[in-house]
């Protein structure tokens, strides 16, 4: 088991238990290691089958972050080690055993398990929630953000693309906002998270103990309504603390900026907005401009390919693309420049506007036959089995 995640149970007044998971690696902003992922999966599986457990509370240790993403430093090391021993083609196809394949497949399996979890999962989204952190939160039945929450899918910055089911949830955001957020890594505040559908409730961080106390006193004969009532009450009392949303007032601007007949043109138009008079737009455009040109093309292609796919199908598509980013994309170089050497000057494989179609297409060739895919067993839960929704 991992020492970077803690598990506790709290007893409710009426004799049940709430499972508490604390991501506990605050120095790395609770970034998810493979050990944490495997520990979470094992405990969630056990709690799903444990009749005493009525709900799961998921939070991050410290006051800075829920979870800043994946353990991309470990991924970097595995990619670099693999490259010294083999050519990229060999690495791309040495798929099942590699650390990179295990890391991403276990992470996406965990994200999928949270989406379909048979009991309420309350994700306490306080502070930084990025990348893999959003993957954990997105599928929770009750997603709370605090006024100081900051969310983003910033993978373009490190030569990846929004994964962890983002090819599913970005496609379901209002207007063109999901595409824009995935392409630019733009920051979302708590009100934005509610607007785009990544969160259900805004509750002030000072109410954490009172919320947990309320859950312990609730009537757990109906778990979904027990959680709903407690969260509703505290969200109501937190209403005045909601920050001004940044995305909703810019939906038309985002639609206009991303109105292009092909992907290369769309990217060029958004990058040109780096000198826009609107600082939120300009910052997002600069982030795209500095990001991986290959990733930018992959993001748009991936969102388009996944538009009509289910969550399970999307996660299978993502696994292939993530391995491609590791084997033949900019992921290692991006992590090196941003998080290892911290020179912030990645030597990307291409320049914007000069990414050959063959390099894009190669990333979408699945390394597996359908019946050999590591996530072949994931299935979508029928709508009538969905747990009662947080806002219902
Ligand atoms: C884009 C990302 C990540 C990122 C920065 C980006 C990411 C991630 C981390 C991260 C942050 C702090 C840590 C750590 C990792 O940063 O996914 O280990 O201590 O995990 O621009 O996608």
Look at residue 388 and tell me if it is in a domain. no
Buried b (16+ CB within 10 A) or exposed e, 61-89: bbeebbbbbbbbebbbebbeebeeeeeee
Q: Which residue among 158, 182, 334, 343 is best mutated to probe the pocket of ligand 1, counting the most ligand atoms within 8 A of its Cβ?
A: 158
Strands 17-23 and 150-152 turn out to be unpaired
- Considering the domain boundaries, does residue 171 fall inside one? yes
Ligand 1 centre and the CA of 206: distance in Å? 26
pLDDT of 83 reads 83
For the stretch 365-391, pLDDT in tens is 999 999 999 999 999 987 766 655 544
pLDDT tens, position by position, 14-71: 999 999 999 999 999 999 999 999 999 999 999 999 999 999 999 999 999 999 999 9
Task: Check if 152 has its Cβ closer than 6 Å to any atom of ligand 1.
Answer: no
Distance from the alpha carbon of residue 380 to the mean position of ligand 1, in angstroms? 29
Residue 154 lies in a domain: yes
pLDDT for residue 314 is more than 70: yes
Residue 279 lies in a domain: yes
State the residue for tokens 């990025």: 130
65 in ligand 1 pocket by Cβ < 6 Å? no
**Structural domain boundaries, residue 233:** 5-376
At residue 392, does pLDDT exceed 50?
A: no
292, 330 contact by CB (below 8 A): yes
Q: Say if ligand 1 is within 6 A of residue 159 CB.
A: no
Domain of 225, CATH number, reads: 3.90.226.10
Phi and psi dihedrals of 330, rounded to 5? -100, 10
* Contact of 12 with 220, CB cutoff 8 Å: yes
Is 70's C-beta closer than 6 angstroms to any atom of ligand 1? yes
Report the separation in Å between the CA atom of 156 and the middle of ligand 1, taken as the mean of its atom positions: 11
Q: Whose CA is nearest to atom 22 of ligand 1?
A: 155
Domain assignment of residue 386, yes or no: no
Within a domain: 321: yes
Count structural domains, the chain.
1
| Ligand 1 in reach of 72 Cβ (< 6 A) | yes
Residue 34 lies in a domain: yes
Q: Classify 143 as helix, strand or coil.
A: strand
Q: What is the pLDDT of residues 55-75, one digit of tens each?
A: 999 999 999 999 999 999 999
Question: Is 390 a domain residue?
Answer: no
CA-to-CA distance for 240 and 232, rounded, in angstroms?
14
* Ligand 1 centroid – CA 222 distance (Å): 38
Work out the angle at residue 341's Cα, subtended by the Cα atoms of residues 101 and 99, and round it to the nearest 5 degrees.
10
Confidence (pLDDT) at 132 = 98
List residues with catalytic annotation: 70, 132, 155, 163
């Amino acid at each position: 088991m991992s020492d970077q995640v803690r598990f506790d149970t709290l007893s409710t007044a009426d004799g049940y238990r709430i499972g508490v998971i604390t991501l506990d690696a605050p120095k790395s902003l609770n970034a998810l290691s493979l050990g944490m992922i495997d520990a979470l999966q094992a405990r969630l599986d056990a709690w799903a089958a444990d009749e005493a457990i009525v709900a799961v509370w998921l939070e991050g240790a410290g006051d800075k972050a829920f979870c800043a993403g994946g353990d991309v430093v470990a991924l970097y090391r595995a990619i670099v080690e693999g490259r010294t021993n083999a050519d990229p083609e060999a690495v791309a196809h040495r798929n099942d055993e590699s650390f990179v394949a295990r890391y991403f497949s276990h992470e996406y399996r965990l994200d999928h398990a949270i989406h379909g979890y048979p009991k309420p999962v309350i994700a306490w989204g306080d502070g930084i929630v990025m990348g893999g952190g959003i993957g954990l939160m997105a599928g929770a039945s009750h997603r709370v953000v605090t006024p100081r929450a900051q969310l983003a899918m910033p993978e373009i910055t490190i030569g990846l693309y929004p994964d962890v089911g983002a090819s599913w949830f970005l496609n379901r955001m209002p207007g063109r906002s999901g595409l824009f957020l995935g392409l630019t890594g733009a920051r979302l505040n708590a009100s934005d998270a509610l607007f785009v559908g990544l969160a259900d409730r805004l509750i002030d961080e000072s109410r954490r103990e009172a919320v947990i106390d309320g859950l312990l006193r609730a009537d757990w004969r109906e778990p979904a309504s027990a959680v709903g009532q407690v969260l509703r009450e505290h969200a109501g009392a937190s209403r005045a603390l909601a920050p001004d949303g940044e995305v909703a007032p810019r939906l038309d601007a985002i639609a206009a900026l991303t109105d292009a007949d092909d992907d290369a043109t769309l990217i060029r138009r958004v990058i040109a907005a780096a000198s826009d008079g609107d600082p939120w737009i300009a910052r997002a455009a600069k982030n795209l401009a500095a990001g991986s040109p290959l990733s930018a093309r992959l993001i748009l292609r991936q969102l388009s390919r996944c538009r009509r796919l289910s969550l399970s199908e999307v996660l299978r598509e993502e696994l292939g693309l993530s391995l491609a980013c590791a084997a033949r994309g900019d992921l290692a170089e991006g992590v090196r420049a941003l998080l290892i050497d911290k020179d912030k000057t990645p030597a990307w494989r291409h320049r914007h506007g000069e990414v050959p179609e063959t390099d894009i297409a190669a990333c979408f060739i699945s390394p597996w036959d359908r019946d050999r895919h590591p996530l072949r067993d994931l299935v979508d839960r029928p709508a009538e089995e969905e747990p009662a929704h947080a806002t219902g």
